[in-house]
Homo-oligomer: A and B are copies of this chain.
Amino acid sequence: MNGRASSASPKTLQIIEAALTILRDEGERGLSMRGVAGRVGVSLSNVQYYFRGKDALIRAVVDHYVAQCSRELADATARTTERPLADRRRTLLRDTLRHGHEMTDMCRIFRELWSVAGRDASVEAALDAYYRQTAETLAAALLAPDAPDALKERVVLLVLPYVEGYSVTGRALAQGPDAAVDLLLSLLEDLAPA
């Protein structure tokens, strides 16, 4: 990040949120510093004051958004820790795959981030870090606390790619998200009985 963009400052956040909205709706193709400035209601120079250019802005957007998603997943799974493991699994997978079946904001934005990541190693690294964090959160939510590491890795090896891939292929499949939930649950039951 440009030194003037403190991630906690209100203006910086405004700019990042505006950029995120444009990225979601118009892709990277439609994202310009001037456009972001217009959306925030400040001058181009003011945006350039905080972010040296489009690439710096995109990088800040990536960091901001993956942090937000990590937090949301952690919060969602924290709310179910009191429930039985089978319940937690079902809720998590159902919420996740149903979201994946719709063209949600998150789906759209991740598609844009994947695209950028395919061309920018630092963004790819940021997404990899996000997925590693997500893997840990998933393992904690889907398995008992004392599950061995090998089992955690195996479960995550199944679930994480599946969930991301479902968001781009799910609508083309003959069966809907509930069937995918059932399938994953039964596979998890085989791998790691609840």
Q: Hey, which bits of chain A sit against chain B, CB under 8 A?
A: 25-29, 103, 107-108, 111-112, 114-119, 124, 127-132, 135, 153-154, 156-158, 160-175, 179-180, 183, 187, 190
Q: Which residue of B lies closest to A163 (CB)?
A: B165
Q: How many copies does the complex hold?
A: 2
Assess whether A103 is in contact with B127, with CB atoms less than 8 Å apart. Answer: no
Q: Which residue of B lies closest to A119 (CB)?
A: B27
**Quick one: which of A158, A169, A171, A179 has the most chain B CB within 10 A?**
A169
Residues of chain B lying within 8 A (CB to CB) of residue A167: 165
**10 pairs, CB–CB < 8 Å, chain A vs chain B:** A107-B118, A111-B114, A115-B115, A131-B173, A153-B173, A156-B174, A157-B179, A164-B164, A164-B168, A190-B190
**Quick one: which of A117, A163, A174 has the most chain B CB within 10 A?**
A174
CB distance from A192 to the nearest CB of B (A): 13
Measured CA separation A117–B131 after assembly (Å): 23
CB distance from A111 to the nearest CB of B (A): 4
Residues of chain B lying within 8 A (CB to CB) of residue A172: 127-132, 135
Assess whether B183 is in contact with A158, with CB atoms less than 8 Å apart. Answer: yes
Measured CA separation A107–B174 after assembly (Å): 24
**Which of B27, B119, B165 is A162 in contact with, Cβ under 8 Å?**
B165
**Which of B107, B115, B180 is A27 in contact with, Cβ under 8 Å?**
B115
